Amino acid sequence: MPKSYWLLKTDADTYAWDAMLADGRTYWDGVRNYQARNNMRAMKKGDRALFYHSVGDKTVVGVVEIVGEHYQDPTTDDDRWSVVDVAPIQELKRPVSLAEIKSNPDLAEIALVRQSRLSVMPLEKDHYDTVLKMGGGTKRVAAAKAKGKRT
């Protein structure tokens, strides 16, 4: 059972849900904000995170599991930055838009609404569950073989 819940933002032109499904597992890199980095460093194996396209459609589209705890970001020699390993586990039956999230009073206090520029943010379990319910629930994704491209 997950202990903590998160939201991970990505530009769909850079790394979209379809790429996550195709890769089967990846490290979450490119975080260059201390608060977001600290959130990643707090993640534990088994935690769950909503996968959010932050540019374009601005929607929550899926759920990933944290499958590897933080380590040095391999895309930089700067030891201030970390990554975590994630794997897709569920897809929302219907994407949930930022407009829908903002219009739900139960979600008014989440970081996505209050700190819109933060790329990695914690969620309370009830907020996580609310977003899943708004998406009509989830469906399991086929277990992809990790291609090793980004792991």
Torsion angle defined by CA atoms of residues 46, 100, 96 and 139, in that order, rounded to the nearest 10 degrees: 70
- pLDDT of 76 reads 96
Tell which residue, 15, 23, 28, 27, has the closest CA to residue 147: 23
Which residue type occupies 94?
R
Contact 43, 69 (CB under 8 A): yes
- pLDDT of 149 reads 46
**Per-position pLDDT tens, the chain of length 151:** 779 999 999 999 999 999 999 999 999 999 999 999 999 999 999 999 999 999 999 999 999 999 999 999 999 999 999 999 999 999 999 999 999 999 999 999 999 999 988 999 999 999 999 999 999 999 999 865 555 445 4
How many whole angstroms separate alpha carbon 66 and alpha carbon 91?
15
Torsion angle defined by CA atoms of residues 38, 41, 45 and 50, in that order, rounded to the nearest 10 degrees: 30
pTM: 0.93
H-helix or E-strand spanning residue 105: none
Helical ranges in the chain per DSSP H: 17-23, 34-42, 98-103, 111-114, 125-134
Query: What CATH class has 5-140?
Result: alpha beta
- pLDDT of 124 reads 97
